[in-house]
Amino acid sequence: MSQGPVSRVRGMAVGASTAALAVAAHGSGGGGLPSATDVVLLLATATVVGAAVAETSWLRRGRLPLFAALLSGQAIGHLVLATSSSGHSLDHAAALTAPMLLAHLAAAAGGAVLIELVERLYGPLTTVIRAAVAPTSPQPLSALRRVLPRRDAARPRDRVVALHSISRRGPPVPA
């Protein structure tokens, strides 16, 4: 079972970045654009990788497990895209070119840095957002009654002083 919102954020971020970064890295490494079938297979793969990260305790902690999860997602994403119906053959999936390998490694490393940054900022950002969005409710009437003085609590001497301090002088009478 999941440990909390941060582990779900990590799982969702790994899943989403696996799909997006695999397409970007595969394209920049010399691969073609994925077909609709490839995208569906890649999204299913990314969902499984993200769920595994969110639900596996040792994948939820640390930089190395995060990088390993993203790297495995990139490897599976490359296999899905390389063996797809978009013109690649199965021989291409076995042979990684240097630009393709570097692109997938850079995608995994960059994704790990960004996800760790999101994890560190998750707590402070949600606290600020909750404080900004939280409705401010007025004090209940019972609390106001306790703060306001009661009318019969005023002493007679205070009333006399208050009445004598009011000026009786008005504006001049017109002639």
User: What's the pLDDT at 44?
Assistant: 92
Domain assignment of residue 118, yes or no: yes
pLDDT tens-digit readout, 7-63: 777 888 888 888 888 888 877 877 777 888 888 988 999 999 888 888 887 766 778
Taking alpha carbons only, the member of 9, 113, 103, 13 closest to residue 63 is: 113
Domain assignment of residue 156, yes or no: no
pTM confidence score: 0.62
Domain assignment of residue 147, yes or no: no
Cα distance between residue 80 and residue 64, in whole Å? 24
Contact 87, 63 (CB under 8 A): no
Q: What is the DSSP secondary-structure string of 58-82?
A: GGSSSHHHHHHHHHHHHHHHHHHHH
pLDDT tens-digit readout, 4-19: 666 777 888 888 888 8
- Is the pLDDT reported for residue 96 higher than 60? yes
Q: Describe the chain by its helix, strand, coil percentages, rounded to 5.
A: 75, 0, 25
Domain assignment of residue 94, yes or no: yes
- Is the pLDDT reported for residue 75 higher than 50? yes
Q: Give the total number of structural domains in the chain.
A: 1
- Counted residue by residue, the chain has a size of 175
Helix axes 98-133, 5-28, angle to 10 degrees: 150
- Is the pLDDT reported for residue 87 higher than 70? no
Residue 104: which domain range?
Answer: 5-133
- Is the pLDDT reported for residue 88 higher than 60? no
pLDDT tens-digit readout, 112-159: 898 888 888 888 888 889 888 877 766 666 655 555 555 655 566 666
User: What's the pLDDT at 141?
Assistant: 60
Domain assignment of residue 144, yes or no: no
Domain assignment of residue 116, yes or no: yes
Cα distance between residue 7 and residue 59, in whole Å? 9
Domain assignment of residue 165, yes or no: no
